[in-house]
Amino acid sequence: MNDLNRRDLLAAAAAIGAASALSPLISQQANAAAPATAAQAPGFYRYKVGTIECTSINDGARTFPLPDKWVTNVSKDAALAAAEAAYMPKGMVTVPFNPQLINTGGKFVLLDCGNGVSVLEPTKGQAGRTLQNLAAAGVDPKSIDIVIMSHLHPDHTNGIRAADGSMAFPNAQIMVPAKDWEFWMSDENAAKAQSNEMMKGYFANVKKIYTGIESKVAKFDWDKEVAPGITSIAAPGHTPGHTAFAVASGGSKVLIQSDVTNIPEFFLRNPDWHVAYDFDPELAQKTRHKFYDMASAEKATVVGFHFPFPAVGHVERDGKGYRLIPVAFNPVL
Ligand SMILES: [Zn+2]
C-alpha cells in the first residue's frame, strides 16, 4: 500500500474520469436502493453507576420562537444572542427533555416521565417520545416499578398518562416531592394564581393529571433514600418542592439535577439569569450556585433533564458561570 506513486495516481484519476460519465445513472440507482429515512433514530443511552445501570431516555426536544420574557431579568436581545451563540435556529430556542431510567437491580425506576402525548396539544413528534424510546430500549412500561417526579411541571409529569388518559405505567407506584404536592394541590394556592396565566395553567394541569389517582401517589421528603441507591436532594426555587437526586453504588455517584437549570447554553453559562418558569427565581439562583459549586468541586457526573441528549456530562466553573462538558458516546458498559 505504500508504493503509491505518480503513475498509480494518474491511472486512478483516469478511472475516476471514466466512471464519472456513468455517474448520473449510478447515483439514480443509489437513490432508488436507499431512500431517505425521514425519521430520527431512537434516543436512549446507557451508562453505569457502580452496579446500577441507568438509561437516558429522550422524550424529544421542542424548538419554538423565543418568548419575549423567557429570560425575565435580561433583555430579549441578550437572550437571542445566547441562542445564536448556541447555533439555535434564528429567533428560536430549543429545549430537550430527558427522563432517566434507573435499574437498581431489584427495581425499575423512572425519574420523570416527559411531556406525554396529548391529543389536545399535538407536538408533531417533537416531544412525548418517552414510551417509544423505552420500547426501543426493550423496556415494557408494565415493568416500571416506581415513577419518581422531580417536580410537578407538565414536561416532567404528563407522561404518567398514555394518550387515552389511562396510566402509562400501570404497575408503578408514583412518588412526588411532598412540598410540591402540598403546594400544587392546594385550592387556596390555585385561587391566588388565577391572575398569572402560566401559574394558572400549571395548577390546572396538576389537577388534570392527578385527579383520580391520588391514592397511587406517595410523597417523599428531601435527604431520604427514596428508592434503592437513589437519594433526594433539596433544590428549591424552580418550584417549592423541586428536587435533584444522587444515584450511588459502590464508590460511584451521579447527580441527577432535574431543573436546577433549564438549558445549559443559557443558564449554566449565565447562572444568574432567571427562566420564566421559576416559581422563586432568587431562590432558584441560589440553589444553582450551591449545586454547581458542589458538582464542580466533586468533579461529579451531572445529568440534566434539559441538557442536550444524552444529557450526561460534567460541569466546570468558567468565569462567572459554568460550562457543560458532555460525555463522549461510550460504546461499552
Ligand atoms: Zn422542566
- Mean pLDDT of all residues in 121-141: 89
Distance CA 139, CA 141 (A): 6
Q: How far, in Å, is the centroid of ligand 1 from the Cα of 197?
A: 18
pLDDT in tens, 192-230: 999 999 999 999 999 999 999 999 999 999 999 999 999
Q: How far, in Å, is the centroid of ligand 1 from the Cα of 7?
A: 62
Q: How far, in Å, is the centroid of ligand 1 from the Cα of 188?
A: 24
DSSP per-residue string spanning 45-88: EEEEETTEEEEEE--EEEEEEPPTTSBTTS-HHHHHHHHHHTTP
pLDDT in tens, 253-266: 999 999 999 999 99
Q: How far, in Å, is the centroid of ligand 1 from the Cα of 195?
A: 22
Q: How far, in Å, is the centroid of ligand 1 from the Cα of 187?
A: 23
pLDDT for the residue numbered 106: 84
- How large is the angle between the packed helices 23-33 and 6-20, nearest 10 degrees? 70
Q: How far, in Å, is the centroid of ligand 1 from the Cα of 19?
A: 54
pLDDT in tens, 53-105: 999 999 999 999 999 999 999 999 999 999 999 999 999 999 999 999 999 98
Q: How far, in Å, is the centroid of ligand 1 from the Cα of 322?
A: 19
Q: How far, in Å, is the centroid of ligand 1 from the Cα of 153?
A: 7
- Mean pLDDT of all residues in 131-148: 97
The answer to whether residue 163 scores a pLDDT higher than 80 is: yes
pLDDT for the residue numbered 75: 98
Q: How far, in Å, is the centroid of ligand 1 from the Cα of 17?
A: 56
Share of the chain above pLDDT 70, in %: 89
Q: What is the CATH number of domain 44-326?
A: 3.60.15.10
pLDDT in tens, 240-289: 999 999 999 999 999 999 999 999 999 999 999 999 999 999 999 999 99
For ion ligand 1, residues whose CB falls within 5 Å: 155, 259
CA dist list (Å): 107 to 54, 275, 330: 12, 34, 24
Read off the pTM: 0.89
Share of the chain above pLDDT 90, in %: 84
The answer to whether residue 17 scores a pLDDT higher than 80 is: no
Distance CA 263, CA 70 (A): 12
Q: What is the mean pLDDT of the chain?
A: 91
Q: How far, in Å, is the centroid of ligand 1 from the Cα of 112?
A: 10
Q: How far, in Å, is the centroid of ligand 1 from the Cα of 170?
A: 24
**Domain coordinates in residue numbering, the chain:** 44-326
Q: How far, in Å, is the centroid of ligand 1 from the Cα of 88?
A: 19
Q: How would residue 123 be classed by pLDDT, with cut points 50, 70 and 90?
A: low
Q: How far, in Å, is the centroid of ligand 1 from the Cα of 205?
A: 14
pLDDT for the residue numbered 1: 45
Q: How far, in Å, is the centroid of ligand 1 from the Cα of 214?
A: 22
The answer to whether residue 30 scores a pLDDT higher than 90 is: no
